[in-house]
Structure 1
Amino acid sequence: MKRQKHVLRLVLLCITLFSGAIYAQSKTASDLDTITVYDFDAIEPLLYTDSDTIHIVNFWAMWCAPCVKELPILKAYEEKHPNVNVLLVSMDFPENIESDLKPFLKEKGITSKVVMLDDPDANTWIDKIDPNWSGAIPFTIIFNKDKRTFHERAFKNLEDLEQEIHNTLNN
């Protein structure tokens, strides 16, 4: 009986590691072939989870210099922690997806999931996300099923982001 439990644990561990490796390998530039455009009602469910997995949702745009400067930090965190779920919510214009956004992401080596938010009623949806958010970007939500923090600023470096994630999950 004890041996069966150990074997079962080993099998579960292998499955977990294998699925994490598949997830990490599956996140390639081909994921950027389709960038879905959402209104807020459609994107809102992506801002919540029932899991212990760390989720990072970053609102950004190509025209925002602090946002662009922060992208390598988010990329580095995701590479260091392949089980994290990073979602980049572009605030750019939908008509520029093919001509500007996809080439920009390819040039920067971004393989995170990217969606676009195109909802003109910003006064409503910004308050639904966080009533304290002024609407400035970059804006990042760090969360799992139990904890959630909001960051209306760019992260300075990888250590800064790691510290905020640690603070979020351990406070």
Structure 2
Amino acid sequence: MSINKFTTNQIASLIVIAFSIFYLILAFQIPEYALPRPVDSDLFPKVLGFFMLLLGILLFFEKDDETSEKEEVEEEEEKLPWYRTGGGEIAVTILSVIAYILLLEIVGFVLTTVLFIFGLTWFYGYKRFVVNGIVSVVIGFGFYMILTRGLGVYLPPGILGF
């Protein structure tokens, strides 16, 4: 099989597989903690590396989309505003993450997280605003409680004061 016969998925999978092998090599170099613990600091990187390797292997055998479907998608994207195309949605997501990072210290973790989750789910088409708001608030407060009370991580209180 020459390089010209590789599909886009196969080329991407080879890159993912190579990166995951490199990542696993580094993960196995993380020193173990001196005292015995059920979960050590090297467990998560190793699990993540193996999952990435597995997904890379599965991607290698995944079929590419038919070219006619790609042409239809491209024609549909030409009719959409820039922020609704594939690249536009990525740009909006990246800008949202940058705004989240910049506002985190000022506004606070809970409020910034709630606005971030609500805003992106609304942007990507979820229109049930009450459910979206409830889920955003539960996730924001839930993560805050887990991180501050459960794990002892300091999070910026912001304008809400907690």
More relative contact order, 1 or 2 (CA 8 Å, 6+ apart): 1
**Into which bin does the TM-score normalised by the smaller protein fall?**
under 0.3
TM-score, length of structure 2 as denominator length: 0.26
Higher strand share: 1
TM-score, length of structure 1 as denominator length: 0.25
Higher helix share: 2
Larger Rg: 2
